[in-house]
Amino acid sequence: MPRNAFYAQSGGVTAVINASAAGVIETARKHRKQIGKLYAGRNGILGALTEDLIDTSKESPAAIRALKNTPGGAFGSARYKLKGVEKGGHEYERLIEVFKAHDIGYFFYNGGNDSADTCLKVSQISATMGYPIVAVHVPKTVDNDLPITDTCPGFGSVAKYVSTSMMEAVLDVESMARTSTKVFILEVMGRHAGWITAATGLAQQKAGQGPHILLFPEVPWNEEAFLARVEESVKQHGYCAVGASEGIQDAEGRFLSESGLKDAFGHSQLGGVAPMLANLVQSKLKLKQHWAVADYLQRAARHIASKTDLEQSYAVGKAAVEYAVKGMNSVMPTIVRSSSRPYRWKIGVAKLSDVANVEKKMPRDFITPDGFHITAKCRNYLQPLISGEAFPPFENGLPKYVRLKNAAVRKKTQGVWNP
Amino acid sequence: MPRNAFYAQSGGVTAVINASAAGVIETARKHRKQIGKLYAGRNGILGALTEDLIDTSKESPAAIRALKNTPGGAFGSARYKLKGVEKGGHEYERLIEVFKAHDIGYFFYNGGNDSADTCLKVSQISATMGYPIVAVHVPKTVDNDLPITDTCPGFGSVAKYVSTSMMEAVLDVESMARTSTKVFILEVMGRHAGWITAATGLAQQKAGQGPHILLFPEVPWNEEAFLARVEESVKQHGYCAVGASEGIQDAEGRFLSESGLKDAFGHSQLGGVAPMLANLVQSKLKLKQHWAVADYLQRAARHIASKTDLEQSYAVGKAAVEYAVKGMNSVMPTIVRSSSRPYRWKIGVAKLSDVANVEKKMPRDFITPDGFHITAKCRNYLQPLISGEAFPPFENGLPKYVRLKNAAVRKKTQGVWNP
């Protein structure tokens, strides 16, 4: 007898997380003998806790196909970490209650480190509760910080966006520097790992071209060294372009962005490493500067997604279902690189116990000895990940993105979620 | 006997100003009887003042063709306004001296309001100096604020970038709002005119979808009305997306961005309307917010340029040369809209005396009565301008942009530029 399945999106969404959803849904539809209905959680795991399930069978094949072209989280995602067994485990119990009520035997959780841990626990706790659930994690994070997998679905597209944007901004600044902006700073995501910052470095294709400086969270912030390098770059090349991580921190681990900007009313200024750096450049070096903060634009930019990333995102969704119907439990499909030139990859598998709560930072030999740029080894790693274009369809000048019907499933439990 | 020509880029560069350069160069190459060499100014008009001319005949047809795909200013642009006759007119005299030395009889100046004025003066002053030059202005400005022409080359591509980016960010925020960011603010360019801000509004395709609020420089800033609207939007739709002009100002014309952020050292905080608004939302409404500042990314984003804009940018460059060889002087090619649905346009002509120093703001009936969004009339105007895609070629995952040889022409004058 087939059992139903539950899919949820977790944490920050990406340009291609819906491609993973499409991989899960389309593959589940091909395994009718094992998988009955595929339900999605409205707003991620909250959909399970509140028993707000979406019936994906109401969506047409065309709508599911269109998910491959649509950024954001089609069913809603959530930043929510289930309260663990040390707090009574009531949330896990509630989850199992809902799964039981809807005959859900498969759990697909699409997220990063936290959700890998949750996924593992669902598998373990459901077994101890006598209602064993096959739990498979579908990797997703723009931060590229999951272990074992060569890369994380979602990262390649951000990398393509930031490297393209940096390359374009550099051409702009370079052509105006004689009479206008001398220093340009682009702030990108990646609070703990410098992968996205590293990707901005791909825009530099010849020595002397921008970006000239990358600021990684892995390299302790040093104001003097930074300013000296900016000055040198402006002297040598006429301008200086900087790719800066939002997570720059000093040797004591204090975030630069928390070092105390105040507004006119004395309120703390929120975020914004780029404006801080720009201020520093202006006040200490008296150089005209401009800055950009890409924020959500970078992780939502489906219009410039990496084809490689898109294919991998779909492939991990597909593999997750294939593993699950084979009875593989507490696992995560991984991307395995077999060659960089030419780039070859395949899908592998990792045990969730090896994945959960492990953070992969930039290796030191991916960063130049002076700490300000990426090495050739890093370029070899990054370059294939941004390869290939996968433009969405356009209509009236704008990308044609799908919004699903997201029809609710009738509730069956009497229980409620007590957060 | 053919005479030489001079082309210069002026002011802020765009994703498609080089397409205008390609139009000028390719068309000049077709008029060998009238136009000899086409020189470009290195760093815009400074190239003429310093006699630093670039010989465009050294560039291959393929390189010139590739300009259509390349953002920034291929010869360098400048923010430099020639000192007028009231200051002695020495700079104009120096310009004519250089033009005379290189037998330059045609002047093509590619820019916005300021450069239209300069272009007109070059024509007038050269005539009074007995060395008449045919001066044609090639319109370019992302601000879309030149009069007479239906739109300004460069604007359509920024409009496409900001509307696409807003649409993508809205999908992101919408899917996370339940547990994460409730208010998202995207700051865009346009210090005096709200055209770019208006374009972010195109991302809203159905009532209720973001962006819910647009903040125009044309509408006096009202903190209470803004906060009330944000709160209402979050209540009704679960989130609020805002497109904000960098030039928001109060009824007295004071820019919001100059209202006094200080950093930890007491230095004035530079720019950044978005972080100010975000701070306000956080402190007054206690709503989680995120913000992005696109800055140069928006005007350099050739990867998402509007095909319409690209074609028009090329067409005005082409027309400029055609007008010049016909002896039309002190004019500017314009875009004339003959129909919106279906969109039809052709090239027209305007007298520079009607263009110089006139700024076209958003008509009041393009903005909704409450001041917070665009009207159907505005959508009808904007929509055709972002139509069509014109992706650049890609190589190894990144756009393939050209850098020209930019070979210098041997100097002939003894004079120097005394700014």
Task: Give this prediction's pTM.
Answer: 0.97
How far off is chain A from B336, nearest CA to CA, in Å? 20
A240-to-A163, A226, B290, B292, B373 alpha-carbon distances in Å: 16, 11, 27, 22, 38
DSSP B408: B
SS3 B304: helix
Mean pLDDT for B213-232 is 97
Mean pLDDT for B230-250 is 96
SS3 B79: coil
Q: Do B179 and A386 touch (CB under 8 A)?
A: no
Q: Do A171 and B389 touch (CB under 8 A)?
A: no
How far off is chain A from B170, nearest CA to CA, in Å? 8
Instruction: Determine contact, residues A312/A335, Cβ cutoff 8 Å.
Output: yes
Q: What is the 3-state secondary structure (H, E, C) of A344-405?
A: EEEEEEEEHHHHCCCCCCCCHHHECCCCCCECHHHHHHHHHHHCCECCCCEECCEECCCCCC
Q: Do A178 and B46 touch (CB under 8 A)?
A: yes
Supply A117's token pair.
Answer: 């841990």
CA nearest to A11, candidates A149, A116, A115: A115
**φ and ψ of A73, to 5 deg:** -110, 110
Residues of A in contact with B294 (CB under 8 A): 292, 294, 297
- Hey, CA dihedral for B261, B265, B271, B277, is it positive or negative? negative
- A&B contacts, CB < 8 Å: 261
Query: How far is residue A216's CA from residue A213's CA, in Å, rounded to a whole number?
Result: 10
Residues of B in contact with A70 (CB under 8 A): 171
A231-to-A197, A227, B247 alpha-carbon distances in Å: 21, 6, 30
List the single best residue of B276, B293, B309 to mutate versus A (max A Cβ within 10 A). Answer: B293
What are the counts of helices (DSSP H) followed by strands (DSSP E) for chain B?
Answer: 13, 14
Residues of B in contact with A175 (CB under 8 A): 9, 13, 72-77
Could you list the pLDDT tens digit for every one of the 419 residues in chain A? 999 999 999 999 999 999 999 999 999 999 999 999 999 999 999 999 999 999 999 999 999 999 999 999 999 999 999 988 888 889 999 999 999 999 999 999 999 999 999 999 999 999 999 999 999 999 999 999 999 999 999 999 999 999 999 999 999 999 999 999 999 999 999 988 999 999 999 999 999 999 999 999 999 999 999 999 999 999 999 999 999 999 999 888 888 877 555 544 444 444 689 988 998 999 899 999 999 999 999 999 999 999 999 999 999 999 999 999 999 999 999 999 999 999 999 999 999 999 988 889 899 999 999 999 999 999 999 999 999 999 999 999 999 999 999 999 999 998 788 77
Active site residues of A: 143
Residue in the structure block whose two tokens are 């002297």: A235
CA nearest to B417, candidates B18, B72, B52, B23: B52
List the single best residue of B77, B157, B160, B175 to mutate versus A (max A Cβ within 10 A). Answer: B175
Mean pLDDT for B307-330 is 98
How far off is chain A from B299, nearest CA to CA, in Å? 8
Q: Do A172 and B386 touch (CB under 8 A)?
A: no
Q: Do B275 and A271 touch (CB under 8 A)?
A: yes
Q: Mark out the alpha helices in B301-356 (DSSP H runs).
A: 307-325, 352-355
Supply B375's token pair.
Answer: 């009207």
CB of A203 within 8 Å of any CB in chain B? Answer: yes
Mean pLDDT for B69-76 is 98
Q: Mark out the alpha helices in A57-177 (DSSP H runs).
A: 61-66, 90-101, 113-128, 155-176
- Name A188's bridge partners: A245
Query: How far is residue A147's CA from residue A112's CA, in Å, rounded to a whole number?
Result: 10
CB of B276 within 8 Å of any CB in chain A? Answer: yes
How far off is chain A from B373, nearest CA to CA, in Å? 19
pLDDT(B263) > 90: no
- Hey, CA dihedral for B232, B234, B237, B242, is it positive or negative? positive
Which among B76, B171, B176 has CB closest to A401?
A: B171
Which among B43, B181, B387 has CB closest to A178?
A: B43
Query: How far is residue A137's CA from residue A160's CA, in Å, rounded to a whole number?
Result: 25
- Crossing angle for the helix pair A155-176 and A307-325, nearest 10 degrees? 170
How far off is chain A from B326, nearest CA to CA, in Å? 32
Which among B13, B181, B270 has CB closest to A279?
A: B270
A110-to-A28, A40, A97, A117 alpha-carbon distances in Å: 15, 11, 21, 12
How far off is chain A from B42, nearest CA to CA, in Å? 9
What are the counts of helices (DSSP H) followed by strands (DSSP E) for chain A?
Answer: 13, 14
CB of B254 within 8 Å of any CB in chain A? Answer: no
CB of A261 within 8 Å of any CB in chain B? Answer: yes
DSSP A191: S
- Name B10's bridge partners: B78
Q: Do B296 and A265 touch (CB under 8 A)?
A: no
One-letter amino acid identity for B134?
A: V
Burial B164-185 (b: 16+ CB within 10 A, else e): bbbbbbbbbbbbbbbbbbbbbb
For A28, other C-beta atoms within 10 Å of its C-beta total 28
Which among B163, B178, B294 has CB closest to A292?
A: B294
What value does the mean pLDDT of chain B take?
Answer: 94
Selected residues 287-316 of chain B with any CB under 8 Å from a CB in chain A: 289-297, 299-304, 306
pLDDT the model gives residue B414: 87
DSSP B144: -
Cα-based torsion angle of the residue sequence A276, A280, A286, A287 in order, rounded to the nearest 10 degrees:
-50
Q: What burial class does residue A152 get, using C-beta atoms within 10 Å of its C-beta: 0-12 exposed, 13-18 middle, 19+ buried?
A: buried
Residues of B in contact with A191 (CB under 8 A): none
Q: What burial class does residue A7 get, using C-beta atoms within 10 Å of its C-beta: 0-12 exposed, 13-18 middle, 19+ buried?
A: buried
| Segment (H or E) for B173 | helix B155-176
Instruction: Determine contact, residues A111/A79, Cβ cutoff 8 Å.
Output: no
pLDDT the model gives residue B271: 60
SS3 B160: helix
What DSSP line would sit under B233-251, residue for residue? HHHHHS-EEEEEETT-B-T
How far off is chain A from B404, nearest CA to CA, in Å? 12
CA nearest to A48, candidates A3, A11, A94: A94
**Least confidently predicted of A228-237, B83-92, B244-253:** B83-92
| DSSP β-ladder status, A77-78 and A3-10 | parallel
Supply A104's token pair.
Answer: 């859900």
Selected residues 108-167 of chain B with any CB under 8 Å from a CB in chain A: 160, 163-165, 167
pLDDT the model gives residue B264: 42
| Strand ranges inside B117-260, DSSP E | 134-139, 183-188, 213-215, 240-245
CA nearest to A45, candidates B238, B182, B237, B178: B178
Selected residues 312-351 of chain A with any CB under 8 Å from a CB in chain B: none
pLDDT(B390) > 80: yes
Which positions ≥6 away from A371 have C-beta within 8 Å?
A216, A219, A225
Closest CA in chain B for residue A163: B398
Selected residues 14-73 of chain A with any CB under 8 Å from a CB in chain B: 15, 43-44, 46, 70-73
For B14, other C-beta atoms within 10 Å of its C-beta total 34
Supply B58's token pair.
Answer: 């050294």
pLDDT the model gives residue A271: 60
CB of A393 within 8 Å of any CB in chain B? Answer: no
Which among B176, B279, B383 has CB closest to A396?
A: B383
Query: How far is residue B121's CA from residue A370's CA, in Å, rounded to a whole number?
Result: 51
Cis omega before residue B363 (within 30°)?
A: no
Supply B305's token pair.
Answer: 């340029």
pLDDT the model gives residue A18: 98
Which among A12, A168, A401 has CB closest to B297?
A: A168
SS3 content of chain A, % helix, strand, coil (to 5): 40, 20, 40
